[in-house]
Each structure stands twice: as structure tokens, then as C-alpha cells.
Amino acid sequence: AQSVTQLGSHVSVSEGALVLLRCNYSSSVPPYLFWYVQYPNQGLQLLLKYTSAATLVKGINGFEAEFKKSETSFHLTKPSAHMSDAAEYFCAVSDRGDKIIFGKGTRLHILP
């Protein structure tokens, strides 16, 4: 069965500092992997996705994630945090590109 584990329900970083949100997945087949962002009272927005084309995936708003099969990880990074990055971030997995299994989410706080 597929699953996703996000380490840390809350992460705080200073504005301008590196953002690192951790995600580990479990899947019996080569997975599709996603990171979504959710702003308050808004729907989910896709940040980036991995579909086996390249292990380093670049997304919107300066975010990127690296697929590491040996570590079953798909951590999300951004070199320099901005106040507007404050939101809830969800890592997710899908084995066929349809039903998506989400992690519990990590709330990112940006400190001025």
C-alpha cells in the first residue's frame, strides 16, 4: 500500500533562509510524487511533480525537490524563504496517476 510520511507538522524558518520540508514515501511500484501548497481558505495548488523523467524537479515559486529512490525520499527545498511562502505543504504519492495519497501536511512559518 502506498503511504507518505511528512516529518514535522510545523516548520519555522527565517525570511531569506533555506526551506527544507521532508517527505518519505512508500510505494510498491515506481510512483508519481507531488508537492502541493494550500493557502488559507484556498484549494490545493500543485508546486511540482515527479514522473520519472528527472530526479531533480523544479517547480513554481522557486521550489524544487529531489527524488532519491535509495532513501525513498522526496524532500522539498527553496534556497531563500519569502514571507509569501507561509502556507501548508502536502507531499503526495500516486501509483497510476489517478488516486492521490496525501501526507498529513507541514505548516511552514516564516519569521521576519
Partner 1 sequence: GAGVSQSPRYKVAKRGQDVALRCDPISGHVSLFWYQQALGQGPEFLTYFQNEAQLDKSGLPSDRFFAERPEGSVSTLKIQRTQQEDSAVYLCASSLVGSRSPSNNNEQFFGPGTRLTVL
Identity of the residue, 50 or 73, whose beta carbon is nearer to partner 1 in the bound complex: 50
8 binds partner 1 (CB under 8 A): no
Identify which range of 19-27, 68-76, 77-85, 88-96 contacts partner 1 by CB under 8 A: 88-96
Least distance in Å: CB of 112 to partner 1? 25
Whether residue 51 contacts residue 59, with contact meaning beta carbons closer than 8 Å, is answered with no
Pair type for strands 10-14 and 106-111: parallel
Identity of the residue, 5 or 17, whose beta carbon is nearer to partner 1 in the bound complex: 5
Q: In degrees, to the nearest 5, what angle opens at C-alpha 83 toward C-alphas 82 and 84?
A: 90
Task: Write out the E strands in the chain.
Answer: 3-7, 10-14, 19-26, 32-38, 44-50, 56-58, 64-68, 73-78, 87-94, 101-102, 106-111
Identify which range of 18-26, 58-66, 76-84, 95-103 contacts partner 1 by CB under 8 A: 95-103
Tell me which of 57, 101, 108, 110 binds partner 1, using CB under 8 A.
Answer: 101
22 binds partner 1 (CB under 8 A): no
